[in-house]
Amino acid sequence: MTLLMVTLALHGCKDKEDDFKWQIDQFADIRIMRYRIPGFEQLSPQQRVLIYYLSEAAKCGRDIIWDQNYKHNLAIRSIIEGIYSGYTGERSGEQWEQFMIYLKRVWFSNGIHHHYSSDKILPGFSTEYLTELINLTPDKFFSSLLGGKERIKEIYIPIIVDPTIAPKRVNQDAGIDMVVQSACNYYEGVTQIEAERFYADMANPTDSTPISYGLNSKLVKENGKLFEKVWCIGGMYGKAIERIVFLLEKAAALAENEQQQKIIEKLIEYYKTGDLRKFDEYNILWVNDLQSRVDFVNGFIETYGDPLGYKASWESVVNFRDEEATRRTRIISNNAQWFEDHSPIDDRFKKKEVRGVTAKVITVAQLGGDCYPSTPIGINLPNADWIRKVHGSKSVTMDNITYAYDQAALGNGFLEEFAWSEEEVDLNKRYGYLASSIHTDLHECLGHGSGQLAEGVKGDELKNYGSPLEEARADLFALYYIMDPKMVELGLMPSLDVARVQYSNYIRNGLMTQLTRVELGKNIEQAHMRNRQLIAKWCYEQGRADNIIERMEREGKTYFVVNDYEKLRQLFGQLLREIQRVKSTGDFEAGKSLVETYAVKVDYDLHKQLLERFAKLNIAPYGGFVNPLIVPIIQGDSVVDAKVEYPSSYVEQMMEYSKKYSYLPLYN
C-alpha cells in the first residue's frame, strides 16, 4: 500500500496535468516553459533544505556566464533592465513590443548573442527609439558606473545596434583567427596562435593525469606578457564565487553522508584556490558518489563557448535521483561490457574493461548559469579524458525536463507536417517519448564512455571538429544499439517499433526539421546540429544505391522516408566504426573532411521550403524554462524545510534574478 501511494504520488502529476500550463511565453524563436519537480514532497526535510541551498548557489553564478559570453553583457543588461523599470513614456505600440522582445531574447541568451547560433541579436526597434527610451528613463535607473546618459548613448547604442560590432560570440570558420573573431570574453589581446602555443607549452606529454589546462581562467596579454586571470575567490569573478561558497558551506552541513560532505568541501577548496588539481580531485570524488539521492553540478564545466575549447562556462544543475526511472538505465549500464564487446568498432579501440558507467535518471530541481533558461536534457561528466578512463563517468538523463518538452509539444502540428505517413505519426505518439528517452540513455550512459584512444593520442587533436564528432560518436552508438534485439530481451522496450520511431525521427530531424533553427542562407554551426546532419546526410548518401532512405515529394513538400531499417542500422554501425577510428587515432584531416562534407552546408531550396512550412505552424524552434521556486520554511533563524512553487511569469523571474543574484561589477 505504501509503495503504491508513493508511486501514485511520484507520477500523480501526470494525471492532473490538464490544468498545469506547460508553456507560459513565446517570442522571436523562443518558447518558455515550466517544469515540475515530481517527488520533491517525498524527500526528507533535510534533503529539501539541502536542495534549497544548492538551488540558491545555482543562481549566484548567473552574472559569471553573462560576463563570459561577452564583456559588455552585464552593462547592457543593466541598461535595458533600467529602461524596463523606469521608462516614463508610452509602454505600448510596435517599438515598445520590439524592445520587450529584445529584452527577453537577451535574457534568454545570457547576453546579446543568440544562445544557439551565437550570432549577435539585432533589435527590431530603431536607434532613434532606443535614444528616446534612454532619454525618458530617469537617471536613477542607470548604474552610476555607466557614467551618465550621454556616455551610455555614445558607447552602448552602437554595441547594441551595429551588426559589425562583435557579430559572433563563437566563430569557428575555417581559416580565420578564431580567438580574435569571437566576441566571447575568454581572451583579451591574444591571438589564436598565441593562445594555442601558451597551452601547448604548458602541457607535459608524459603526464598521464593532466589537468584541464586553461579551464578556469581568462587568458590576457598585457605589456607583451601572457597570463591567466583565474576565476576563484580573490581572483576574477571572486565576488560571485564567494557567495556560491557561502551557500555551499551551508549545504555541506546538511550533506546526506560523509562522502557527499567531502565532495562539497573539495569543491569549496577548489573555488577558494582556483587550483585545477583540486578540481580533478573533486571530480573523482563526485564520480564515485553513487549513493546520495541529491546531487548537483556547480562550476566551470563545458567548453563549447570557447572556440579553442579550453575555457569552461559556468553552470549549475541541482537534482535528485528518480528511483523508478533509474531502473531502466541501470539495466543498460549493467550490460555495458556486452555493448562494448559487440560494438562495430575496431577491436583495437574497444575498452577491454568498461568501468564506472553509472547511469541514473534525475529530476531537476533548479537550473543555473549556462544551463538556464536553455537546458541540456542529459549530462555526462566529468569531461577530463583520463578521469573518465580511470574512474568512469556519471551519466544522467533529466526526465522531468524532457517530459515537460514532450507535454508542451503534443498537438502543435509539427509531426503531422513533416512525417510522411499517418502510421509514422501514430507510432510516434505511442512510442516517441520512450524512444527518445532510450536514445538519450544510450548516448549518455554508454556512447560517450565507450571506446579508447590509441597510445600517444591525447584527445584534443581534432580541435574545433572534436565536439561534433564526439556527439556523433555517442549518437551513433545509441542509434546502432536501439535497434538491437537485445533491447527487447532486456525488457527496455516492448518491440523494435520503438527503434523504428527513433530512426525515422532521427533522419527526419537531421535532414530537415532541425534546419528550422537555422536562418536561411546560413551554415550549420552548433556542434549537436552538425553531428545530426553529419549522420543523417552521410547515411542518406551512402544508402542511395539501395534506396535505404528515400526522398519523397508530395504537393510540393519534401519528406524523407526510411525504407530499410536493418540496412540503415548497418550504415550507423559503419559510420560509428569510422568516427571511432578518427577519434582514437586523432585523424584531424579525416574528421575535418567528414564534418565539412556532410555537417555544415545546407541545401538552400529545401531549407527555404522547410522554413515556410514551419512558419505556418507558428512554433518557436527553441525552448527554455523558468525555474520553480524553492521556498525556504524558516523557524527562528534557521531554514527547517522547503516547498516548491511554480511561478508563471518569465519577466518577473528574470527581473528578480537580476535584483537578487547580481554579485559582480559591470566589468570584470
Residues binding Zn ion (CB under 5 A): 471, 474
Q: Are 308 and 192 in contact (CB under 8 A)?
A: yes
Peptide bond into 382 cis (omega under 30): yes
Shortest reach from residue 292's CB to Zn ion, in Å: 24
| Cβ-based nearer residue to Zn ion, 254 or 474 | 474
- Count of C-beta atoms within a 10 Å radius of residue 664: 22
CB of 447 to Zn ion, least distance (A): 7
408 vs 478, beta carbon nearer Zn ion: 478
Of 212 and 662, CB closest to Zn ion? 212
317 or 474: CB nearest Zn ion: 474
Smallest gap from Cβ 388 to Zn ion, in A, equals 13
Q: Which of 243, 263, 369 is nearest to 312 (CA)?
A: 369
Cross-strand pairs, 378: 397
Q: Which residues contact 544 (CB under 8 A, 6 or more apart)?
A: none
Least separation in angstroms between CB 217 and Zn ion: 25
CA dihedral (428, 434, 438, 444) in degrees, to 10, reads 100
CB of 473 to Zn ion, least distance (A): 9
* Complete edge-to-edge strand list for the sheet that includes strand 378-381: 294-302, 313-321, 357-369, 393-398, 378-381
Smallest separation (angstroms) from Zn ion to the CB of 646: 29
CB of 364 to Zn ion, least distance (A): 17
Residues 113 and 70 sit within 8 Å (Cβ to Cβ): yes
Q: For Zn ion, which is the closer residue by CB, 123 or 451?
A: 451
- DSSP assigned state of 615: H
Write the DSSP symbol of residue 543.
T
Q: Give the Cα separation of 290 and 256 in Å (integer).
A: 12
By C-beta, is 103 or 474 nearer to Zn ion? 474
Question: What per-residue string of b and e applies to 425-447 under the rule 16 or more CB within 10 Å gives b?
Answer: bebbeebbbbbbbbbbbbbbbbb
Question: Minimal distance in Å, beta carbon 463 to Zn ion?
Answer: 18
- By beta-carbon proximity to Zn ion, the closer residue of 464 and 658 is 464
Comparison of 25 and 471: residue with beta carbon closer to Zn ion: 471
What type of residue sits at position 189? G
CA distance 192 to 232: 25
The residue whose Cβ lies closest to Zn ion is 474
What's the min distance (Å) between Cβ of 450 and Zn ion?
12
CB-nearer residue toward Zn ion: 315 or 471: 471
In the complex with Zn ion, which residue's Cβ is closer, 264 or 317? 317
DSSP character at residue 632: E
Backbone angles phi, psi at 320, to 5 degrees: -140, 155
C-alpha cell at position 585: 587515432
**What strand order describes the sheet that includes 225-230?**
187-188, 217-222, 225-230
Closest contact distance (angstroms) between CB of 444 and Zn ion is 7
* Residue 226 near residue 240 (C-beta atoms within 8 A): no
Helix (H, G, I), strand (E, B) or coil at 314: strand
Minimal distance in Å, beta carbon 530 to Zn ion? 13
Q: From the CB of 478, what's the least distance to Zn ion, in Å?
A: 9
C-alpha to C-alpha distances, 383 to 89, 240, 379, 518, nearest whole angstrom? 50, 24, 10, 28
DSSP 113: B
Rounded distance between C-alpha atoms, residue 191 and residue 173, angstroms: 15
CB of 366 or CB of 531, closer to Zn ion: 531
Residue 266 or residue 360: which is nearer to Zn ion going by CB? 360
Give the nearest distance from C-beta 441 to Zn ion in angstroms.
12
Q: Which of 131, 120, 132, 123 is nearest to 154 (CA)?
A: 131
**Which is nearer to Zn ion, 240 or 332 (by Cβ)?**
332
The minimum distance between CB 535 and Zn ion, in angstroms, equals 13
Nearer to Zn ion, 256 or 471 (CB): 471
Q: Is the CB of 34 or the CB of 530 nearer to Zn ion?
A: 530
Report yes or no: 365 and 631 within 8 Å, Cβ to Cβ: no
Q: How far is the CB of 443 from Zn ion (least distance, A)?
A: 6
Transcribe 47-104 into DSSP letters: HHHHHHHHHHHHHTTHHHHHHHH-TTHHHHHHHHHHHHHH--S---SHHHHHHHHHHH
Distance CA 13, CA 322 (A): 14
